[in-house]
Amino acid sequence: MIIHQSRPKPEPWSSVRTRAKGWVIPFLATEHACDWAVYWLSHWSFLETLEYLSSLSILIAVIFYFAESGNRVKQRHYQAWQVINTAQGKGGSGGRIDALQELNHDKVTLTGVDLSEAFLQGVRLDKARLMRANFHNADVRDGSLINANLEDSVLEGANFRGVDFRKADLRRADLTDADLSGANLENADLTGANLSSTDLHEANLRGVRWGEISNIKMANLAGVKNPPQGFVAWALQNGAVQSN
């Protein structure tokens, strides 16, 4: 910001002229004219007003920027949902990975989202709220669903190889024919889940809640890691297999 100071009135040219000699006179005359210009402008309130108006306009622009931030977020979310909804039931990613991750980052619930047939390899949806979501035949290999809520979701026939399901809520989820080979299900909740024909080959089952699994017929338990005590015996008695 410019600091305005009232300038003293310059000396008359007659006084300055008496001190000037020869070739210096034109330079002194120019400087003297500038001194008078500065003197008059320093007393002109209009210029100071313009400067304050300039500062005020910047302040107003900042206020509007923050005031409109909510609308910008809503617009971004709307565009993300457009990407997801437009690609429903179609193969490929269609920009859904970025859209889903952006919505989840902003803590938007993804309840009931239709991701059937989608290619979502490597998607990161930790702590996502995906209750009643549809992942039918989706490819989510090497994704991350740590602490995600997948209650009552349809995961039938989906490829979850190597997915991180640590502490995921999979209560009553339908995992029929799903491929969870090498998946990390540590401390996941499988209460009421349907694991019929689910491939759990080399999956990590440490601390998994399995006591009320609804169906485990033909589920493949070959090479499962850290199974809870009694789980494998119970599963085999209820129709699970161990097939390499």
What local confidence, expressed as pLDDT, does residue 94 receive?
75
Tokens 């199974």 appear where?
227
Confidence of residue 121 (pLDDT cuts 50, 70, 90): very high
pLDDT tens per residue across span 21-75: 655 566 556 666 666 566 655 655 555 666 666 666 666 666 655 665 666 688 8
DSSP 3-state assignment of 103? helix
What local confidence, expressed as pLDDT, does residue 17 receive?
55
Report the pLDDT averaged over residues 104-128: 96
pLDDT tens per residue across span 169-220: 999 999 999 999 999 999 999 999 999 999 999 999 999 999 899 999 999 9
Prediction pTM value: 0.71
What local confidence, expressed as pLDDT, does residue 92 receive?
74
- Asked if pLDDT for residue 139 goes beyond 90, the answer is yes
Task: Please say whether the beta carbons of 158 and 178 come within 8 A.
Answer: yes
- Asked if pLDDT for residue 242 goes beyond 70, the answer is yes
Tokens 């039918």 appear where?
136
Q: Cα dihedral sign for 172, 142, 165, 203?
A: positive
What local confidence, expressed as pLDDT, does residue 87 receive?
85
Task: Please say whether the beta carbons of 129 and 109 come within 8 A.
Answer: yes
State the Cα–Cα distance between residues 11 and 142, nearest whole angstrom: 83
State the Cα–Cα distance between residues 200 and 197, nearest whole angstrom: 9
Report the pLDDT averaged over residues 100-108: 95
- Asked if pLDDT for residue 6 goes beyond 60, the answer is no
Q: What percent of the chain has pLDDT over 90?
A: 62
What local confidence, expressed as pLDDT, does residue 134 receive?
96
What local confidence, expressed as pLDDT, does residue 69 receive?
60
Residue 55's contacts (CB-CB under 8 Å, 6 or more residues apart) are 1
DSSP 3-state assignment of 189? strand
The Cβ-side half-sphere exposure at 227, using a 13 Å CA radius, reads: 18
